[in-house]
Structure 1
Amino acid sequence: MTTAPSPSPPASAAAPSEARRERTVLSLPEHTVEIVSDPGEGAQKCGQIFGRVSAKMGNGVWTVEIIPAEIQPPARQPSSASGNRVRIGTGPVTNWGDHANLVVAFNEQVLLHRHRLDALAKDAIILIENMWATHDDPDIRQAWTDAMEELGSASYQFVPVPMEEECLAVIDNPRRGKNMFALGLLAWIYSRDLEKIKGLIAQEFRKKAEAIYDTNVTLLERGWRWAEDHLDFRIDVPRVESNRPMVVMNGNQAVAIGGIAAGMELCAMYPITPATSASHHLSDIFERFGGVVHQAEDEIAAVGVALGASFAGKVAFTITSGPGLALKTEFIGLAIMTETPLVVVDVQRGGPSTGLPTKVEQGDLLAAIFGQPGDAPHVVLAPATMEECFLCMTTARRVAEALRTVVIVLSDANLATGVQPFPRPDPSEQWFAQPPDLAPVREGLRPYDWDPQRGVSPRVVPGQPGGMFTATGLSHDEWSHVGYTPDVHERGCRMRSRKLAVFQQMLKPPVVNGEPTGDLLVVGWGSTLGAIEEAVGRARQEGLAVSSLHLRFLSPLEPGLAEIFRRFRKVMTIEINYSDDPGDPFVTAENRRRGQLAWLLRAQTLVDVDCWTRVPGEPLRPGQILQAIHDSMPQGASR
């Protein structure tokens, strides 16, 4: 390998016999891989399969999809970069890391994009398609030259790979085969099990003709053989054997399967990025468990169908993203007013408006809690891992039915598309809520017969003998009669609010990661968990008195926060949403817009909670958070 970029890739790959004599095996506790291409060349699929097979072989894995903002951007443009980052480790992997150590790039322009984003390690190994340096088009040759000159600022180790030439020996259109060839390269480099990969390919193309499977396997094996014959290095990331069976899935799959495990019976949704794939997973298997997936004509209809099904006694949920959540607001308010159980999953993306459909952000927190007109108390919770995406669905169903209210689950694009292995959940009775009691309603029972101690009333469903009543979104009394006096509305608001007050007292205080006292407490929520805890771990190794806290329940907030916060000299949230830079000359302490969780915590605890936030359109990196910790340590902090 060589580090000197040139108009044509350096002849860095060894000849076959030489490679076999001088091959080096690098044994590392973890390694991060990126596969990047133009859209439509299959780099995402390559990364997904590589990540899944690594997990199935016993490595810790976290994957993140690299998705351009446009559906079909122009080819060979930096902004067109599409692919996948896969971080694999000997132990559990909880985030995508800081930089990629090895990259497979289908052209120099997408590689340039990742370079400009500081996504690559300075000494990264780059396996790059070598056809562009000698392309017939002089503009492409010049673009290659210019890109390689810019890439020369880093000490990358380039390995030219004739992907086009190798794939043409198998398939007429190499754009449809490079991803499997690249998968073969990675399989050899990291000693992945080819038979397991073939099984995943068979699963992926199970609805296609057998010839398509055969072609993909041929390309896979050709990539393996090319790497075996030409590369002088391999990378070994040791695996840990586990006695517990593991499952490998992304967050959207976990949400879908969690809905099934919770006994849900209907999912109504309208397609929206990045939530749509959850319904795809459901549509494949939900019917086997007696469930129905309903694709509505729009977001409003979707939540209306789910609400109607739940009102009729079924267990229903809807899945959307930020723009869809905005459209569902009025029906969510109706569910709260009529006290109809409903689960809403919001897979957050960048906003506002259409915003960043394919990018991660945590911008919906305050909208999820306060976005409904009037006083509309309900539960909001946020999973932090793929396993929690599964478990949150079982929790959401039980809470929604126990409190007769709406539960909003805040996932995000990082969780939705990323893959992580976790122990196969053992079925538990706690997954299931009690079904509605359909026995005849006792005489005199009112449809909103609120328990003054809990704010909850018995659930009455249509068709239940003696249970007929007029449902209304208007303010009403215990008989569901429209209220015309102030005390009726006051009592309804008080009972709906009491549900959350009583529920909050049932929650356990959150657990501090690290020492219970110190100089700085970092607070997060959602998918930032792994990056925050890794950064805090590094800071503690440096001698900094830093701990972290991660919240799952956001409405109501978990108890004891004010007491925990007062044990630290400074409290700071880490979030993927916007906040003003306090150094901005136009920003003051009074007009500064803060991170959304910081705003919430300041209001609820009366503690001066600071924040460090970014909206990069990608997950936060542990190194970024570590630097933020250094910059935010209070004066006189101990080391």
Structure 2
Amino acid sequence: MSTATAAPPSSSTPTTLRNAVIRLAGNSQDGIQSIGGFLARLAGRTAQEVMTYMTIPSTISGGPSIFQVHLGSGAVLHEGDEADVLVAFYKHSYENHVAALRDGGICFYDTADMGPEDVKHERGIIHIGVPFTSATVEAVGGSTRDRGKNMFVLGMVTAVFNLDKEKLVGIVSRQFGKKDESVLRNALLAFDAGFAYQVGDIEKFAFVPGEATSGHRISADGNQMLTLGLIAAGVRYGAAYPITPWSSILETLRLELPKYGGIYVQAEDELAAVSMTIGAAFAGHLAITGSSGPGLSLKMEALGYASMAEIPLICVNVQRGGPSTGLPTSVEQSDLMQAIYGSHGDTPRIVVAPQDVEDCFYIALEACKLAKKYSCPVIILSDQALSSRIEAFEEPDLDKHWVEPELDLSTRPADFKPYPLDAITRHAPPGSKMAGGKFPVSTGLEHDEMGHPSGSPKMHTLMTAKRRNKLVQLAKELPLPEIHGDQTGDVLVIGWGSTYGPIKESVDRLRLEGHKAGALHLRHLHPMPDGLDGLFKKFKHVVCVEMNDSGLYGYGQLATLLRASLADPRIQSVCKTDGLAFRIREIVTGVEKIMAGAE
């Protein structure tokens, strides 16, 4: 915990904090995700910053699970290397996660599952036994042994950290208000029991008030913000098939799009889903499909068709650990090459990636604009960490960003060509009036400017160049990303996707240690903006930090692309494949090893 001022344990004045990391460890059926979600939403209503992290079992039967909440009054850029407080619901929760506690941290454990003889008296950790289960049963009554103790814990944490009880009760009430009245009553009874429980002679804490903002703050996860961004950008149609961790986007679009005159279909399989989406896009609508890595593999044949026919559509890939079924509930960034090169043949498409939860909204807006402008598929590479991570930020201005879609059925002139060699493709949806009397053809076969199939070697060469040159043009138009930290110096640390916060924090640590370090984050992965080589030349070392394998030649996927495009041997990699987000010390240690080895 980062303290601004400190008071002795016996003082009635709480110790004030800048930030704290709370890890809740139990089983997936214990509702610990609900506790973390309530705490995260509270941060969005109290001008505090928050970042969450959770692990959930990939089996239907459930199993061990954690939810970690990093609360702070200043910028929170990562989930937290170490926990300040551990709440262990079971003995196995304690044994598996006590090592994650910092020296001198606090551990609350359920006395129904373990006793003082089970704790490890080391590293100055303070152990406090609390009867989560029996106290909940006493408060609520009935057979509630495994129900409601999460709300008891939430009340206890609220008291220990002097959180805004009134606002938190309001959040809980809205969550359970639509259920049977007894559900809300029992939840609040358990919460009040936890809030009133005397945890012993330990410090109480209070966060430094966060800085007030002019706009309304919200807290949400990445999948929610991606969905909102897609709707705001004018998406009204599409189809998909369920898969973790993409499915919540499918479910929300299926429920919400009919409210705006659209429709979202749960198809029978991935190939059917992308094909339906291509059909909607060909009909003139902005359409979206999505999946995770295994599902994207199945979509590739049809995505190749979309590249050949130059159909504008959005495809979201919420990456998870692979290959095959892999690690369905763990994070990885191993689908970059798949997104760019996954289809047979040369299939140019645009690939972008959000850097945090808030950016999921804005990357969706940008992806939709790019798809329409360049008439090609755009793949959004999110990941499991972003999909479930909750962050607090200022609510987007929907009045500013909202796009009301319009179907363009205007008359096309007599000389209209859907695939002109000297211009970007603009399709005429079925129903458009054709002044020339001939409706153009769309096909997966190579074609001429009217879309008629062509086996001409010259035409194939020209059309291949036409499809490629759209991305060449885009690369020239993209702005160079800004460098955080030193603009020249010892090392430039590069990343993409959910590594944004950890890399930024790591560079700040490197600078405190005396290194001249900068951080550069790429949102546009294919094409990348022109001019990156000029930025790289300002640093002695260039290190790509990414969650994928270093591969046969020792470089991660982004590093491989950069080395191939820039022929810069200084580009090195720090990679990991454990299914967990990067810790700050992992990045700092990896970067320092590269610098020391090169020197």
Residue in 2 that maps onto 1:495: 466
Q: Secondary structure at the match of 1:28?
A: strand
Partner of 1:188: 159
- 1:238 maps onto 2:208 in alignment: yes
Please give the residue correspondences for 1:514-593 in structure 2 after superposition, counting only pairs within 5 Å. 514-579=485-550, 591-593=552-554
Compare 566-575 and 623-632 and name the one that shifted more: 623-632
Code of the aligned partner of 1:47: G
CA distance 1:431–1:50, shift in 2 (3 Å)? same
Q: Summarize the alignment of residues 37-436 of structure 1 with structure 2, pairs less than 5 Å apart.
A: 37-73=26-62, 80-115=63-98, 118-133=99-114, 148=119, 151-169=120-138, 170-171=140-141, 172-227=143-198, 230=200, 232-240=202-210, 241-427=212-398, 432=403, 435-436=406-407
Judge conservation of contact 2:238–2:280 (CA < 8 Å) in 1: no
Measured in 2, the distance between the counterparts of 1:261 and 1:432 equals 6
Tell me, in whole angstroms, the C-alpha distance in 2 between the residues paired with 1:566 and 1:90.
Answer: 37
Going from structure 1 to structure 2, the CA distance change for 1:270 and 1:443 (only over 3 Å counts) comes to: same
Say which SS state the counterpart of residue 84 (structure 1) adopts. strand
Q: Per-residue deviation at 1:277? A: 1.5
Partners of 1:164 and 1:635 in 2: CA distance: 53
Separation (CA, whole Å) in 2 of partners of 1:636 and 1:437: 57
Counterpart amino acid of residue 34 in structure 1 = R
* Cross-structure match for 1:596: 557
Corresponding residue number in structure 1 for 2:424: 456
- Report how far residue 72 of structure 1 moved: 2.0
Native 8 Å contact 2:43 2:392 kept in 1: no
* Superposed displacement of residue 276, structure 1: 1.1
Distance 1:291 1:93, change over 3 A: farther
Contact 2:485 2:518 in 1 (8 A): yes
The 3-state SS of whatever aligns with 1:310 is helix
Task: Give runs of aligned pairs for residues 429-444 of structure 1, distance below 5 A.
Answer: 432=403, 435-444=406-415
1-side partners of 2:277 and 2:201: how far apart?
A: 55
CA contact (8 A) 2:412 2:432 kept: yes
Give the drift of 1:54: 2.3
Partners in 1 of 2:170 and 2:78 — Cα distance? Answer: 26
Matching residue of 1:613 = 575
Residues 49 and 393, structure 2, Cα contact 8 Å, conserved in 1? no
Q: Deviations over 1:404-463 (max 9, x none)?
A: 10000000111100111111222466664974531111112122224x2xx412221111
Question: Which moves more between the two structures, 482-491 or 193-202?
Answer: 193-202
For 2:174 and 2:495, locate their aligned partners in 1 and report how far apart those are by CA, in whole Å.
37
- Could you tell me the TM-score, scaled by structure 2's length? 0.93
Residue-by-residue CA offset, 1:525-569 (whole Å, 9 max, x unaligned): 110011011011011011111111110100001221111112211
For the residue of structure 2 that corresponds to 1:313, the secondary structure is coil
Report which stretch shifted further, 564-573 or 291-300.
291-300
> Which consecutive unaligned segments of at least 5 residues does structure 2 have?
1-7
Q: Is the 8 A contact 2:282 2:427 kept in 1?
A: no
Equivalent residues of 1:447, 1:479 under 8 A apart: yes
Aligned in 2, Cα 1:54/1:518: closer, same or farther, shift over 3 Å? same
CA distance in 2, matches of 1:368, 1:405: 13
Whether the 8 Å CA contact 2:90–2:114 is kept in 1: the answer is: no
- C-alpha distance in structure 1 between counterparts of 2:103 and 2:345, whole Å: 53
- The number of residue pairs the alignment matches comes to 585
TM-score (norm: length of structure 1): 0.88
CA distance in structure 2 between the aligned counterparts of 1:574 and 1:556, rounded to whole angstroms = 19
Contact kept? 1:167, 1:219, Cα under 8 Å: yes
Output the amino acid matched with 1:403: Y
* Structure-2 change in CA distance of 1:434 and 1:277 (3 Å): closer
Cα distance, 1:475 vs structure 2: 0.8
Stretches of structure 1 that go unaligned for 5 or more consecutive residues are 1-18, 74-79, 135-143, 581-590
Q: d(CA) in 2 for partners of 1:578 and 1:60?
A: 32
What is the rounded CA distance, in whole Å, between the counterparts of 1:595 and 1:449 in structure 2?
38
Q: Which of 592, 603, 625 lines up with 2:587 in the alignment? A: 625
CA contact (8 A) 2:22 2:85 kept: yes
Q: For 2:268, what is the secondary structure of its paired residue? A: coil
> Paired residue for 1:584?
none
Q: Is the 8 A contact 1:402 1:433 kept in 2?
A: no
Residue 350 of structure 1, CA deviation? 0.3
Query: Which residue identity does 1:596 align to in structure 2?
Result: Q
